[in-house]
């Protein structure tokens, strides 16, 4: 999707900062929906949550493909993000439930591999599609795969359900808190600074109300019992920092390659492939390492490599060869692959098995919060202008990767 953003901006005659909201809307919607959905997994069951999320995602893909305006596309992406939230929450919880404790890291390694392979092929496939068709086809190709998945859901183990209720007040406060904050950060780059500041302050205010309301609730969406476990909490923060670093690079790189280096969308697709490809190669190795070594050390090394890779991208030569870019992004991919599986394993196994749904919800929430924050920062940096917006995003990504190193290393002293 990211490599199509310049094409989408040209298609709707919009600014780069406005086009980034095609990504922001998806991340924001998923972030808002994750905790409410995770709180209902016990009563609805993993199968129903997954199937419903998948149906919403597929239908929204049609809406994205046929959107006549940028606001309509952004609206369809909001709906698509809600469907993705259901898929994310149920998917990680399935792994925790299916695999025995001593093999769960291998399960998460397989999930990381399954995610990374499409990630590796995605830019190339997207580039090939854009070479022969327009960007709406990037959404339509999701549909056949989405329709095939229900055939496999039936093979999942039976759901173990428990009673839970819908916390409408908590859902509203959750949406206002995350929505206003992320929109405010993005608005800093595209609109009135006073309005943006007001949105950010309001978001923080509603976040305080949300936490207070959750502390008084008998069955809170926020898993306070899990947050009392230092390993879980530090793993969440490591995840937020790492995914913010990833999306800062992922969203800004197409603009760097297509605008500054004057590459085509097809060339850009091939050029960004080394990152997800090396993540796919590294994921199973990291899964085996996670069985023998603490997650803190593996993740810290991985995120340090990610930071080094981003730093090297910042200092690319003025007219770099393709190989100069490829090996730097490959280093980023190796680092991210070393982080992903051990961190997911640490987060999902820190609490009891019966809290797998809540842990999965926070796992996905941390990922989407990082993505949303990173995407909003891209919009902010691009909106502030200047000829080096993409490079500034890479510097910000490096800073988040280093923060991830710090939070990951802190797990050694928990």
Residue spans of the domains in the chain: they are: 2-151+219-413
Mean pLDDT of 66-78: 92
Say if residue 160's pLDDT is above 60.
no
2-151+219-413, CATH topology level: Growth Hormone; Chain: A; (1.20.1250)
Q: Are 174 and 32 in contact (CB under 8 A)?
A: yes
CB 361 within 8 A of CB 42: no
Which range has the top average pLDDT, 35-44, 168-177, 265-274, 298-307?
A: 298-307
The model's confidence at residue 147, banded by pLDDT at 50, 70 and 90, is confident
Residue 373 has pLDDT above 60, yes or no: yes
% of the chain residues with pLDDT over 90: 25
pLDDT at 293 over 80: yes
List Cβ neighbours of 281 (8 Å cut-off, separation of 6 or more): 333, 334, 337
**Per-residue model confidence (pLDDT) at position 330:** 95
Mean pLDDT of 365-386: 79
**DSSP H or E segment with residue 76:** helix 70-98
Q: What token pair was written down for 9?
A: 């901006």
Structure tokens at 170: 């908590």
Per-residue confidence (pLDDT) for residue 150, from 0 to 100: 66
Which pLDDT does position 155 carry in this prediction?
A: 60
pLDDT in the model for residue 408:
93
Better-predicted residue by pLDDT, 183 or 246: 246
The answer for residues whose C-beta is within 8 angstroms of residue 191's C-beta and 6 or more apart is none
Helical residues (DSSP H) of 133-229, grouped into ranges: 137-140, 142-148, 150-153, 168-190, 193-215, 224-227
Rounded to the nearest 5°, which phi and psi values hold at 292?
A: -100, -30
Which of 290 and 105 is assigned the larger pLDDT? 290
**Residue 405: per-residue pLDDT:** 95
pLDDT, residue 50, reads 83
Residue 30 has pLDDT above 90, yes or no: no
Q: Element (H or E) spanning 325, and its range?
A: helix 322-349
Judge whether residue 154 has pLDDT over 90: no
Q: What is the mean pLDDT of residues 218-225?
A: 80
Residue 381 pLDDT level (bands cut at 50, 70, 90): confident
HSE (side-chain half, CA atoms, 13 Å) at 276 = 21
Average pLDDT over residues 192-219: 86
What pLDDT score was predicted for residue 299?
94
């Amino acid at each position: 999707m990211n490599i199509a953003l310049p094409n989408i901006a040209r298609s709707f005659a919009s600014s780069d900062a406005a086009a980034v909201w095609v990504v922001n809307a998806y991340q924001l919607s998923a972030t808002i929906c994750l905790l409410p959905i995770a709180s209902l997994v016990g009563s609805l069951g993993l199968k129903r949550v997954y199937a419903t999320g998948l149906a919403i995602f597929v239908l929204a893909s049609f809406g994205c493909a046929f959107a006549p305006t940028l606001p309509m596309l952004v609206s369809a992406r909001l709906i698509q993000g809600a469907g993705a939230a259901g898929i994310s929450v149920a998917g990680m919880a399935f792994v925790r439930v299916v695999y025995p404790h001593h093999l769960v890291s291998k399960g998460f390694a397989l999930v990381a591999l399954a995610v990374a392979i499409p990630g590796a092929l995605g830019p190339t496939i997207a580039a090939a599609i854009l070479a022969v068709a327009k960007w709406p086809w990037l959404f339509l190709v999701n549909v056949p795969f989405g329709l095939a998945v229900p055939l496999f859901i039936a093979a999942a183990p039976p759901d173990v359900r428990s009673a839970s209720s819908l916390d409408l007040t908590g859902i509203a406060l959750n949406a206002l808190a995350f929505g206003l904050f992320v929109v405010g950060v993005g608005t800093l780059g595209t609109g009135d600074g006073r309005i943006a500041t007001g949105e950010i302050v309001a978001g923080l205010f509603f976040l305080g109300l949300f936490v207070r309301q959750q502390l008084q609730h008998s069955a809170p969406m926020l898993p306070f019992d899990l947050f009392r476990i230092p390993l879980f909490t530090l793993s969440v923060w490591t995840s937020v920092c790492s995914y913010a670093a990833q999306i800062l690079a992922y969203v800004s790189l197409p603009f760097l390659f297509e605008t500054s280096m004057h590459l085509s969308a097809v060339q850009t697709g091939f050029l960004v492939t080394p990152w997800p490809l090396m993540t796919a190669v590294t994921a199973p190795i990291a899964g085996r390492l996670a069985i023998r070594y603490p997650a803190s050390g593996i993740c810290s090394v991985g995120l340090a490599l990610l930071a080094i890779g981003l730093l090297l991208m910042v200092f690319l030569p003025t007219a770099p060869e393709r190989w100069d870019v490829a090996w730097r992004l490959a280093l980023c991919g190796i680092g991210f692959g070393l982080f992903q599986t051990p961190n997911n394993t640490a987060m999902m196994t820190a609490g009891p098995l019966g809290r797998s749904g809540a842990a999965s919800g926070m796992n996905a929430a941390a990922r989407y919060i990082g993505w949303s924050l990173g995407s909003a920062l891209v919009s902010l940096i691009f909106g502030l202008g200047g000829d080096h917006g993409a490079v500034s995003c890479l510097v910000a990504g490096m800073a988040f990767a280093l923060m991830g190193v710090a939070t990951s290393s802190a797990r050694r002293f928990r």
